[in-house]
Amino acid sequence: MTALSPEQLYLFDTTGFLLIPGAFGADEVAAMRAELDRIAPVDSGFANTARFTDLPAASALFARTALDARLLGPVRDVVNQPLRLLEGYGLRRGPDSVLYLHGGNAELLDLDGGTVGRDMSITHTYHDGKLYCPYVKTLVYLSDITSREDGSFCYIQGSHKANFPLLRPRAERGARASLIDEGFPTLSDLYVRAGDLLLLNEALMHGTRRKRTPGDRLLVAYGYGPTFLTDWRELDGETGDLRGAGYVDHDVEEDFVHEAEEASSPDPVR
């Protein structure tokens, strides 16, 4: 028996995500917020955003949440492989924070000696009545996000099934601004309440709007995939099991936006 209804599976298949309102109650949300207050954050690398790393190891509460049927049931229905936890973390976003667009089924992947247009760790496929998505996240929202100014989740419609890359060709044409700021015909927003659960295929190109309102915005995220995938980490050409194969990166918007910002910055005074 599946955890998701046929209609929910249809929505996930056609959009790359599924919002499950009110999956967690107010008391559970309050307990998770209090638990994050107890854990020391680290620098996320993003402006005004704190990251809480390896939550299942840091907290018994978050370890139990990672195994909660409200998360695992929907995840199993869209991964359809023996399952493992790849990562678990939290984010606290303050004013002027933003997460640039990333993911995207067709965004380019650099390899030593060539560039390919498929990162097989994030795909969206269907076979014999089942979906097979190797990297799926569950986002548990601990704050209301009800407008763009709150720093809403945003995504490019259909990008989990895209066949043409968007980010690098756009940058090569000289585009400098983020799509989050410049806009795009199929860039859409999703608004949530504390306790909502978002089931997300990482093949969907997604990010957040710039947060303009005061106060923090909190969420907890868990990444799942088949047991043959390793814990999530950045890989490079020095990784032993790749024997120097030269994996560089899957294109993300931040690469091009930051390059543009650096290129347009004046030279420092000597």
C-beta of residue 218 within 8 angstroms of C-beta of residue 143:
yes
Residue 128 burial (10 A CB sphere; 0-12, 13-18, 19+): exposed
CB 100 within 8 A of CB 257: yes
pLDDT tens, 89-135?
A: 999 999 999 999 999 999 988 776 677 777 888 999 999 999 999 99
User: According to the model, what pLDDT value does residue 256 have?
Assistant: 86
Which tops the pLDDT comparison, 256 or 74? 74
Whether residue 62 is predicted with pLDDT greater than 70 in this model: the reply is yes
List Cα–Cα distances, 121 to 86, 164, 201, in angstroms: 12, 17, 11
Contacts for 174 with CB less than 8 Å, ≥ 6 apart:
none
Structure confidence at residue 214 (pLDDT): 96
The two structure tokens encoding residue 106: 């067709």
Report, in this order, helix, strand and coil percent for the chain, each rounded to 5. 30, 25, 45
Q: What is the pLDDT of residues 179-217, one digit of tens each?
A: 999 999 999 999 999 999 999 999 999 999 999 999 999
223-244 pLDDT per residue, tens = 999 988 766 555 444 444 444 4
Average pLDDT score, the chain: 89
Question: Using one digit for the tens of pLDDT, what is the confidence trace for 124-166?
Answer: 999 999 999 999 999 999 999 999 999 999 999 999 999 999 9
Q: Per-residue pLDDT for 53 more than 60?
A: yes
Per-residue pLDDT at 239: 44
d(CA 171, CA 181): 15
Residue 252: band (very low, low, confident or very high) from pLDDT cuts 50, 70, 90: confident
Q: Give the percent of the chain with pLDDT over 70.
A: 86
Question: Does residue 267 have a pLDDT over 80?
Answer: no
Residue 97 three-state SS: coil
pLDDT at 266: 47
pLDDT at 243: 40
**How many beta carbons lie within 10 A of that of residue 50, not counting itself?**
19
Tell me, what's the pLDDT at 110?
Answer: 75
Q: Is a pLDDT exceeding 90 seen at residue 15?
A: yes
Question: 89 or 257, which is more confident?
Answer: 89
What per-residue confidence (pLDDT) applies to 1? 67
pLDDT at 121: 84
pLDDT at site 233: 55
Reduce the DSSP state of residue 110 to 3 states and report it.
strand
- Write out the two tokens for 66: 């990672």
